[in-house]
Amino acid sequence: MAKEPQDIFGDLKNLKNSPRSAPRPRLGEFVGSPRHELWHFLWELQDGRGWRQVGPEPVVRAPEPALHPVVPDLPGSGVFPDREAARAVLEACTPFIPEARAVLDLVDQCPEQAQKGKFPVIVIEGLDATGKTTVTQSVAESLKAVLLKSPPACISQWRKLFDDEPTIVRRAFYSLGNYIVASEIAKESTKSPVIVDRYWHSTATYTIATEVSGGLQHLPPARHPIYQWPRDLLKPDLVLLLSVSPEERARRLQDRGLERTQEEAELEANSIFRQKVEVSYQRMENPGCHVVDASPSREKVLQGVLSLIQNECN
C-alpha cells in the first residue's frame, strides 16, 4: 500500500530525531612534531556552528607481525598437510557437487600410504612456457620412462567444473589429484623410471603465492613448515624446476599463439605474483627443487637434465 505524503514526512521527521542518526562528519589530518612524533587531529562538524577540533591523539607504530595473517590458516585452506584434510573439504561438498563423490571414490581406491618402487621418480616443475612439456616428454623417451601428469587423466574431465568452484574446493580437488597420481607412481615405479609433469610442489606454490597478498617480504620465511612435503604423500627422488627469464617466457607465450589460461595471464601481467611463485618453489624442502636454466636450446637443456638425473639418482 502506497503511503500518503504526510506519512512520508512524518517518517522523515522521526528519522531525524532518532538517537540512531548518522554520525557527524569528521575530517582528519596527521601532523608531525619536531620530536618525530605523529599526531592525529580530528575536526567534527557541529550543527550550524562550524567545525570543532577533537583530539589530538598520538599515532603509535604497531610492530609488523612475524607472519602474514593468512599463513597460519593455509594448512586448512589450500596447502593441505595430508590426504584427510583435503578429503574432508570435498566430502562436505557432496550434497551439492555430485562429481565430488566420484573424485572421492577414486581417491578411496588408492592406498593410504603409497610406496615407491625400485626405479627412480623424477618430477619436473616450471611456469608455463618454460619448456616443461617438451622436456618431460624428451626425458621420458630418453630414459624409457613412464610419463604421468598431475592432475591425472581419470579426473581431468571434472577439471573445468572444479575450477569454477570456490577456491578451497578447487584446491582440495587438485590436492587429491596428487594422491591419485601417487598410487600410479607406486605401481609404475616397480617396472620402470617415472617422470611426473607437475606434482605437489606446483599445487602448494600457487596456493601460497595467491593467498599471501603483498610482496615477497610477506611470504613465509625459508624453512617454514608450509614448505614441507605432506607426511602421507609418496615422495619423488628428484624435483627439477625449469626456469627462464620473464622476457623469454613472454616471447615463448607469444610464439605459441594459443589462448592463454588465467594462470598464464596472471603470471605475465603481475610480476610480483610471478616472483612469489618462483621464490616459493625455491623454498620447498624435503625434497627441494633443483633449478635448471631452460633458456638454451632444447638439446642442451635435455643434456643438462639427463646429467643431473644421473648424478642425483644413481
Locate 252 and state its grid cell: 615463448
Name the β-bridge partners of 40.
30, 57
Q: Which of 100, 214, 234 is nearest to 161 (CA)?
A: 100
Number of H helices, E strands in the chain: 13, 8
Q: Which residues of 105-137 are buried (b: 16+ CB within 10 A; e: fewer)?
A: ebbeebeeebebbebbbbbbbbbbbbbbeebbe
Query: Residue 13's pLDDT is what?
Result: 57
Give the integer Cα–Cα distance in Å for 85 and 278: 26
Locate 32 and state its grid cell: 608531525
Task: Compute and round to an integer the Cα radius of gyration of the chain.
Answer: 28
Q: How many CB atoms lie within 10 A of CB 78?
A: 25
User: What residue has cell string 563423490?
Assistant: 101
Amino acid letter for position 78? G
Give the integer Cα–Cα distance in Å for 203 and 150: 9
Alpha helices in the chain (DSSP H): 5-17, 74-77, 83-93, 98-108, 132-143, 153-156, 159-163, 167-188, 200-211, 246-256, 262-269, 271-283, 298-313
Helices 167-188 and 83-93, axial angle in degrees (round to 10): 130
pTM comes to 0.80
Q: Is 149 helix (H, G, I), strand (E, B) or coil?
A: strand
CATH number (3.40.50.150, 3.40.605.10, 2.40.110.10, 3.40.50.300) of 71-313 reads 3.40.50.300
- pLDDT tens across the length of the chain (314 residues): 455 555 655 665 565 555 555 556 677 888 888 888 998 888 887 776 777 888 788 999 888 888 999 999 999 999 999 999 999 999 999 999 999 999 999 999 999 999 999 999 999 999 888 889 999 999 999 999 999 999 999 999 999 999 999 999 999 999 999 999 999 999 999 999 999 999 999 999 999 999 999 999 999 999 999 999 999 999 999 999 999 887 877 787 777 665 555 665 666 668 899 899 999 999 999 999 999 999 999 999 999 999 999 999 97
Helices 200-211 and 167-188, axial angle in degrees (round to 10): 160
Under 8 Å between Cβ of 120 and 237: yes
Q: Where in the chain is the domain with CATH 3.40.50.300?
A: 71-313
Q: Which residues of 2-17 are buried (b: 16+ CB within 10 A; e: fewer)?
A: eeeeeeeeeeeeeeee
Q: With 0-12 CB in 10 A as exposed, 13-18 as middle and 19+ as buried, what is 143? A: buried
Query: Residue 308's pLDDT is what?
Result: 96
Q: Is 53 helix (H, G, I), strand (E, B) or coil?
A: strand
